[in-house]
Structures are given as structure tokens and as C-alpha cells.
């Protein structure tokens, strides 16, 4: 139970003492208990910073910590405005009712004489000392001294417009010398959360002194949580999981005992491809996992696992073909590939830029020094301008070596299926193709809030350009001396070699 008698002034001046003696929460079993900081919450408390980015495994109490922390700030300091932004309305209601309002209602009776709060509206507490605490899906008006954005990775993937609004609006409501926290599990290699994480991690690795406007990086892997263990000795861990965990031990210099290994194995059996994003071992793998809503992420994850994202050198004895997506006022993306006699598609290079004319891209191709075969252009390359009666293909034809093939308009889903059918035959250069691979991994369906699920319609965003160009590759493969069929290619190999 919380303290029923008035403590000393020294105790009240100690924030950690207040956090662990004045607030009640419910634990994972639904039991009412005093709030006590666990290892992750203690680290956040001890290393508090103006800007914080937290990449984590699930169920570590991060949101609970900041809910109680902000409540304490609002209660004990005047004119303190705090906010938590949740990924959706029902999440915001749960955070407010079960964490904030629950803890406030059960504070010791003597505290209410010092400062009381009222409920002006659902999701907000306003205090007699002029402070306020709100939980919502976005805040734009007013100025806040405390802001937590919860599950921002999920917001970036499922509600990209909401994520944009948070970055452009809500983050600007916090004064620069106050505290902003962004926390989430990972949800794929794209969006604001992924970009912010990459920047924050690089800053952490550099060991440079941070300015108040730079984010302090926190990573909480699954194996640091003491309860993530299984004591059932009859569980047989697969060789694959044991080998993976052996690699993790070497990579991060940690020892994983049998109970931890059993827990990981059993959890992976349930979560499958989502395990690395839900319970990551390293910051890098958190963003590698194939997630729901992505078209190609799972297949590319398998390519990486099988060693098909590696060094793929250019062969002078084979023609290089290209596949394009045109962006006259947007990004233009180009894949470079060669065809192997065994039916393998060797993706050797990728280029992307924006707001450049056709000559720029032709110059890029010439400077690479490849011997070219077929350039696969989308249907709009054949659209003629009313002013000069020229199309894009007319402009690039005299500037490029090789043949040009303009694709007919095809259903997008047919193209997506074509990509899926050839990815297992592809091998990607890990360095030159990395930007394009990230585009493919990030290509995803639109989320429908009303249906509560994904539509089978791709989002048009930064991932679209490289992915659209790869659709040209998959559907135009037959015009590059390949049938597009592994079986037919193998027949050609047998005929060639006898």
C-alpha cells in the first residue's frame, strides 16, 4: 500500500522516493501493487534526457513509467503540461484510465489537500496548481513540457498521415529545453521511427556529447528481462535457434542460459517472423523482421538468411539490363541486372534520384561502364508531349546503348505477383543495391482504420519508386532473353550444354 502518513520534506524532494511510495498500479496478473521501478524503468529514470528514443522488446513497462513520471511532475510542480500520444483512440483511453487516473485516484488522502485534480473531459486531468495531463492520438495547440509518443513505429506504418502530423505539429508544441520521449517496438525499415532510430543509434555509438535537441538512444533487448525464461527442461530447442542464439552471444557479448533459450524458442514458435521485431536481440535485427502488411519483406528476409544478399560483381561476359520507374516531378528509380545461365537473376546495382532530366540518368548509365542489353521502361515513357511531340523514350534512345522496350499497362497486383514469383531466383549486391532493397522491404499495403485491416492496395510513398521499377523488371524479364520461367531457363541450359 502507499504511504498513509505525511513523509518528511527530504523524502518528498526525492523523485524516485515519490514514484515508489505514492503510486499504485496493477501488475501483469491484475493485482494492485505499489509502483516499483524495474531495471528498464530505473535506467530511464537515471539517464533522463531532453530528447529520448527508446527501441525495445515488449512488456517492459516503459509507457507505465512515463505515465507515473508525468503524473508526478504535474502533481508536484505548478503549470506543468504533459501529454501522451497513443497509436489509436482505444489505446489512449486504456493508458489514461488504467495507468494515470488509476494511480491518481489511489494517491494518499493527505496529498489531495495539497493539490487536487478534476476531470474536465475524458482523457485529461487538470490540477489546481495549473498543471494538466492529457492522453490522445495527437496534440497540436498549447505548449507542453513533457511529451511521450507511444508505439510510434506502429503509427508510422499504419497511420503515416498521423505520424506526419505528430512530427510537424505535436513535436513543435514542446519547448526545446523540456522532455520528449519517442518509444516503440520496430515495424520495418521505413518511416520516421526507423529514421530517428538510425540517427540516435549513430550518435550513441559516436560517444559525442549530445545537445538538448539530439536524441539519447536506449535499446532494451529481450534477454535483459528477468522473467523471459522457461524452466521446463523437456523443451527441445531446435538447432537453428541454438545457432542463432550462439551468434547473438558473440555479437553482443552476453551469455544466454538454457532457460532463456527455451523461452526464446517457445516464443518464436508462436510469433514466427514477428519475433525479431517484438523481442529483438540487437537494434539492427529489430528492423529486419518481415511484418504484416508488407508485400516482399518476408521473401527478402529469406534471401538475407540464405546468403543471397552478398557481393555480386559485374560480369563483362554478360549484358546488363535495366528496369525503370519514371518520376518526371518525382523520384526516378533504375535497377541493373544480369541473367545467369542457371536461371539466376543477378541484381548488381541500383540508382535513384529526383527532379533530374532524362540526360542525367543516361549519363549515369554511361559512366557505370556496363555493356547494356535491354532497357525496360514503363508505359508512360511512350506518352508524347503535346508541345514537342516527343516522348521520354524518344529522348533517351539516342543517348543509351542497347534496346528499349516500353511495357504495356498492367494491373499493379499482377506485377506484384510477378515480383513475388521471381524473388527466390534473385541475388542482390549487398552494397550497391542496399537502398533499393530497403525500398522493396518497405513496400506495403494501405491500412484501413474502418475495416481494422490492410487493403490490397499499395501506399504511394518513398518505397513505391524502387518497387515500381522492380515490377518492370519482373514483368519485362521475358524481353531480356529470358522466358521469365525457371523451368524454361533450365531447358535452355540443358540444350546449350547438351
Q: Is residue 2 part of a domain?
A: no
Domain final residue, candidates 238, 263, 291: 291
The mean-pLDDT minimum among 258-262, 364-368, 396-400 falls in 396-400
Question: Is the pLDDT reported for residue 494 higher than 60?
Answer: no
Q: Quick one: pLDDT at residue 95? A: 93
Whole-model pTM?
Answer: 0.72
Using pLDDT thresholds of 50, 70 and 90, give the confidence band for residue 447. confident
Q: Is residue 209 part of a domain?
A: yes
- Residue 265 belongs to domain spanning: 230-291
Question: Is there a single domain that holds both residue 192 and residue 266?
Answer: no
Distance, CA of 113 to CA of 127 (rounded, Å): 12
The pLDDT tens digits of the residues spanning 136-168 come to 988 766 788 999 999 998 888 778 888 888 888
Domain final residue, candidates 175, 195, 220: 220
Question: Is there a single domain that holds both residue 161 and residue 285?
Answer: no
The CATH number covering residue 343 comes to 3.30.420.280
CB 171 within 8 A of CB 85: no
Q: Is residue 304 part of a domain?
A: no
Q: Structural domain tally of the chain?
A: 3
The CATH number covering residue 73 comes to 3.40.50.300
Grid cell at residue 458: 499499395
The mean-pLDDT minimum among 6-20, 136-150, 288-302, 421-435 falls in 288-302
Residue that wins the pLDDT comparison between 387 and 489: 387
Average pLDDT over residues 399-423: 89
Smallest CA-to-CA distance from 327 within 460, 164, 476 is with 460
Q: Is residue 490 part of a domain?
A: yes
* Chain centroid offset of residue 431 CA: 21
Q: Could you give the 3-state DSSP secondary structure of residue 469?
A: helix
The mean-pLDDT minimum among 294-308, 368-382, 474-488 falls in 474-488
Question: Is there a single domain that holds both residue 421 and residue 482?
Answer: yes
Question: Is there a single domain that holds both residue 63 and residue 197?
Answer: yes
Q: Is residue 104 part of a domain?
A: yes
Question: Is the pLDDT reported for residue 182 higher than 90?
Answer: yes
Question: Is there a single domain that holds both residue 365 and residue 391?
Answer: yes
Q: Is residue 328 part of a domain?
A: yes
Q: Is residue 416 part of a domain?
A: yes
Residue found under cell 515508489 = 20
Q: Quick one: pLDDT at residue 191? A: 81
> How many helices, marked H, and strands, marked E, lie in the chain?
21, 19
Q: Where are the beta strands (DSSP E) in 210-267?
A: 215-220
Distance, CA of 342 to CA of 20 (rounded, Å): 66
Q: Quick one: pLDDT at residue 484? A: 47
What does DSSP assign to residue 100?
I
Average pLDDT over residues 462-480: 92
The pLDDT tens digits of the residues spanning 71-91 come to 999 999 999 999 999 988 889
139 exposure class (CB count in 10 Å sphere: 0-12, 13-18, 19+):
buried
Burial 308-330 (b: 16+ CB within 10 A, else e): bbeebebeeebbbbbbbbbbeee
Question: Is there a single domain that holds both residue 37 and residue 118?
Answer: yes
Residue that wins the pLDDT comparison between 285 and 203: 203
The mean-pLDDT minimum among 31-35, 357-361, 386-390 falls in 386-390
Question: Is there a single domain that holds both residue 403 and residue 464?
Answer: yes
Q: Quick one: pLDDT at residue 235? A: 93
The pLDDT tens digits of the residues spanning 311-370 come to 999 999 899 999 999 976 678 999 999 998 788 999 999 999 988 888 999 999 999 999
Question: Is there a single domain that holds both residue 265 and residue 188?
Answer: no
Q: Is residue 298 part of a domain?
A: no
Angstrom CA distances, 258 to 239, 255, 272, 312, stand at 13, 10, 20, 39
Question: Is there a single domain that holds both residue 242 and residue 191?
Answer: no
Residue found under cell 533522463 = 48
Question: Is there a single domain that holds both residue 329 and residue 470?
Answer: yes
The mean-pLDDT minimum among 193-197, 262-266, 294-298, 438-442 falls in 294-298
Question: Is there a single domain that holds both residue 178 and residue 146?
Answer: yes
Question: Is there a single domain that holds both residue 381 and residue 453?
Answer: yes
Residue found under cell 519547448 = 175
The mean-pLDDT minimum among 203-207, 398-402, 455-459 falls in 455-459
Amino acid at each position: 500500500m502507499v504511504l498513509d502518513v505525511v513523509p518528511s520534506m527530504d523524502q518528498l524532494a526525492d523523485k524516485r522516493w515519490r514514484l515508489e511510495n505514492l503510486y499504485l498500479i496493477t501488475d501483469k496478473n491484475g493485482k494492485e501493487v505499489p509502483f516499483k521501478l524495474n531495471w528498464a524503468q530505473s535506467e530511464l529514470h537515471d539517464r533522463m534526457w531532453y530528447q529520448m528514443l527508446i527501441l525495445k522488446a515488449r512488456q517492459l513497462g516503459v509507457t507505465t513509467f512515463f505515465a507515473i513520471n508525468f503524473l508526478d511532475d504535474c502533481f508536484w510542480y505548478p503549470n506543468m503540461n504533459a501529454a501522451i500520444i497513443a497509436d489509436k483512440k482505444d489505446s489512449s483511453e486504456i493508458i489514461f484510465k488504467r495507468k494515470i487516473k488509476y494511480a491518481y485516484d489511489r494517491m494518499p488522502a493527505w496529498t489531495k489537500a495539497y493539490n487536487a485534480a478534476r476531470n474536465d473531459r475524458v482523457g485529461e486531468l487538470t490540477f489546481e496548481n495549473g498543471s494538466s495531463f492529457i492522453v490522445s492520438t495527437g496534440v497540436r495547440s498549447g505548449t507542453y513540457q513533457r511529451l511521450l509518443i507511444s508505439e510510434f513505429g506502429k503509427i508510422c506504418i499504419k497511420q503515416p498521415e498521423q505520424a506526419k502530423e505528430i512530427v510537424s505539429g505535436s513535436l513543435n508544441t514542446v519547448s526545446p529545453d523540456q522532455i520528449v520521449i519517442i518509444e516503440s517496438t520496430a515495424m520495418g525499415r521505413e518511416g520516421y521511427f526507423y529514421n530517428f532510430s538510425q540517427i540516435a543509434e549513430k550518435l550513441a555509438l559516436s560517444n559525442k556529447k549530445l545537445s538538448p535537441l539530439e536524441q539519447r538512444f536506449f535499446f532494451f533487448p529481450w534477454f535483459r528481462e528477468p522473467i523471459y525464461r522457461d524452466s521446463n527442461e523437456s523443451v527441445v530447442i531446435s538447432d537453428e535457434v541454438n545457432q542463432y542464439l550462439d551468434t547473438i552471444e558473440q555479437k553482443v557479448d552476453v551469455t544466454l542460459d538454457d532457460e532463456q533459450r527455451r523461452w526464446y524458442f517457445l516464443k518464436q514458435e508462436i510469433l514466427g517472423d514477428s519475433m525479431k521485431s517484438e523481442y529483438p536481440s540487437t537494434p539492427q535485427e529489430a528492423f529486419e523482421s518481415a511484418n504484416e502488411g508488407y508485400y516482399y519483406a518476408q521473401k527478402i528476409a529469406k534471401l538475407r538468411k540464405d546468403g543471397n544478399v552478398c557481393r555480386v560483381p559485374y560480369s563483362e561476359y554478360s549484358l546488363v539490363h535495366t528496369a525503370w520507374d519514371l518520376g518526371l516531378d518525382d523520384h526516378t528509380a533504375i535497377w541493373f541486372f544480369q541473367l545467369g545461365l542457371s536461371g539466376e537473376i543477378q541484381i548488381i546495382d541500383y540508382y535513384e534520384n529526383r527532379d533530374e532530366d532524362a540526360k542525367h540518368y543516361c549519363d549515369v548509365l554511361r559512366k557505370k561502364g556496363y555493356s547494356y542489353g535491354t532497357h525496360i521502361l514503363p508505359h508512360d515513357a511512350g506518352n508524347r508531349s503535346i508541345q514537342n511531340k516527343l516522348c521520354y523514350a524518344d529522348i533517351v534512345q539516342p543517348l543509351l546503348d542497347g534496346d528499349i522496350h516500353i511495357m504495356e499497362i498492367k494491373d499493379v497486383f499482377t506485377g506484384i505477383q510477378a515480383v513475388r514469383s521471381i524473388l527466390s531466383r534473385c541475388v542482390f549486391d549487398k552494397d550497391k543495391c542496399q537502398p533499393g532493397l530497403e525500398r522493396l522491404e518497405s513496400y506495403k499495403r494501405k491500412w484501413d482504420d474502418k475495416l481494422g485491416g490492410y487493403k490490397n492496395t499499395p501506399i504511394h510513398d518513398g518505397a513505391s519508386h524502387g518497387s515500381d521499377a522492380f515490377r518492370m523488371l519482373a514483368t519485362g524479364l521475358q524481353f531480356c532473353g529470358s522466358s521469365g520461367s525457371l523451368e524454361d531457363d533450365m531447358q535452355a541450359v540443358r540444350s546449350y550444354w547438351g
